[in-house]
Structure 1
Amino acid sequence: MQTSSIDTAAQASAPAKPKTLLRLLLLPLVILAGMGLSVEAGLLGPLGEQVGHLWATLSIFGVGAAILLLLLLLSGPQKGPALTELPRWQLIGGFLGPMYVVVLTLATPHIGIAMTMIAILSGQVGKSVLIDHFGWFGTARKRVNGERWIALLLIVVALVLISRG
């Protein structure tokens, strides 16, 4: 029995369904994680003023490291190369994470949570569009188009409106 072109097309598109479903399931999770950053900013500002910004950052990362260690111990062996085998540039996040939290701790009490978050969002989206456009860090290239430019412009407008509000 020969396979029709319809069957072939259906087979070719079959892997797309799980990817689409995964994207739909991950989107609310990412939105919730973003909400968590706003809560973190609200907690870090006062904590930084009470114990110092660097101590506040260290405490947040200490709690996070303890939780991650527990999860690693409970999850069993991990696949992949040893930490020493990774390219050093991939470990830049170890520097960027604490710097982000220190800035969050410093800025939030002075400019507010909403202004801090929209400023962070504008930086994140702006840099993300560049990373996608040029395919930096081994990511798939996704060229900047008119819709992405408009989205960036709207984020800047939101930043201006929140700063004036």
Structure 2
Amino acid sequence: MQSFDEVSAAPAPVARPGLRLLLLPLVILAGMGLSVEAGLLGPLGEQVGHLWATLSIFGVGSAILFLLLLFAGPQKGPALTDLPRWQLIGGFLGPMYVVVLTLATPHIGIAMTMIAILSGQVGKSVLIDHFGWFGATRKKVNGERWLALGLIVAALILIARG
């Protein structure tokens, strides 16, 4: 079993330029889906409770994934029991993210929630890229990345004031 340090030093696969062009709109659409999810979760959490709303979202998602796995056939790769335990942290982070969406959205609005999440995501992503954590390809923080992060923080402030 590999440790965190061993995996973080491994080179990450590099996407081909054509694949990158196809993935970018897909990722943007997924981001739009998160805004819709926040809009749905806020009122649902107010009606049934924040934890029940989170459970319902993960229950529906788990059922859909189960059906997809049934029709997708055998999956390649090691068994979950063979993976380093730290790689399973996402199973904890996902529900925490959804609970925060459910709690925050009714009080601060979808735009503020999403830009705050975006600022946290980009800030942490810059660090992950810079240090090559989790097997990511190392990309040093440069002036353009600092500027991008600063603009996102500026957007957060402007939306908060607006």
Letter in 1 for 2:51: L
1:69 matched to which residue of 2? 66
Q: Structure 1: 5+ residue runs without aligned partners?
A: 1-15
State which of 49, 52, 68 in structure 2 corresponds to 1:52.
Answer: 49
Is the aligned partner of 1:30 residue 2:27?
yes
* CA distance in structure 2 between the aligned counterparts of 1:91 and 1:139, rounded to whole angstroms: 17
State which of 115, 123, 138 in structure 1 corresponds to 2:112.
Answer: 115
* CA distance in structure 1 between the aligned counterparts of 2:85 and 2:32, rounded to whole angstroms: 31
2:132 matched to which residue of 1? 135
Is the aligned partner of 1:43 residue 2:54?
no
* CA distance in structure 2 between the aligned counterparts of 1:88 and 1:137, rounded to whole angstroms: 13
Compute the displacement of 1:139 (Å): 1.1
Q: How many residues end up aligned between the 2 structures?
A: 149
Compute the displacement of 1:56 (Å): 0.1
Is the aligned partner of 1:156 residue 2:138?
no
State which of 116, 124, 139 in structure 1 corresponds to 2:121.
Answer: 124
Letter in 2 for 1:46: P
Name the Cα RMSD after superposition.
Answer: 1.0
Letter in 2 for 1:30: V
- TM-score normalised to the size of structure 1? 0.89
Larger Rg: 1 or 2?
Answer: 1
- Percent identity of paired positions between Structure 1 and Structure 2: 88
* CA distance in structure 2 between the aligned counterparts of 1:60 and 1:39, rounded to whole angstroms: 13
- TM-score normalised to the size of structure 2? 0.91
State which of 142, 146, 155 in structure 1 corresponds to 2:143.
Answer: 146
* CA distance in structure 2 between the aligned counterparts of 1:140 and 1:118, rounded to whole angstroms: 26
Q: Structure 2: 5+ residue runs without aligned partners?
A: 1-13
Structure with the bigger RCO (C-alpha within 8 Å, sep 6+) is: 2
Deviations 1:71-92 (A, max 9, x none): 0000000000001000000000
